[in-house]
Amino acid sequence: MAASVYEVVKEYLFNHEAKDGETLVVRGRVSRNLDAGHFNWDISHHYRPAADALGIYYPSAVTFDNAEEAASALLRYGRKFVSEHGVEPNKFY
């Protein structure tokens, strides 16, 4: 079985203040699937958006036709990131 090949086309760093006052560096990237031609985004950590949220928020829309749409979705998620209610490393990043 052949492996899918991805090219990282954009990378971002989001510096968030963690509960303990330290800086949590969250990394995000936009990648192009060289075989299929679509773009994906992923992020190094996921977050729980509010104290009364049911759990960690895992975005479902991560595949797009172009890099600009993928980057826009990543930036929206990364800018809304909050750490005070819970953070989980993305084990697939």
User: What element of type H or E holds 63?
Assistant: strand 63-64
Residue 90 near residue 47, CB atoms below 8 Å: no
pLDDT for 19: 72
pLDDT tens for each residue of the chain, 93 residues long: 678 999 999 999 999 887 778 899 999 999 999 999 999 999 999 999 999 999 999 999 999 999 999 999 999 999 998 888 889 999 999
User: What element of type H or E holds 77?
Assistant: helix 67-80
CA-wise closest residue to 26 among 65, 74, 61: 74
- Distance in angstroms (rounded) separating the CA atoms of residues 80 and 13: 14
What are the C-alpha distances in Å from 32 to residues 8, 35, 57?
6, 9, 24
pLDDT for 92: 92
Domains in the chain: boundaries: 6-89
pLDDT for 84: 84
pLDDT for 14: 95
Residue 77 near residue 59, CB atoms below 8 Å: yes
- Distance in angstroms (rounded) separating the CA atoms of residues 51 and 90: 20
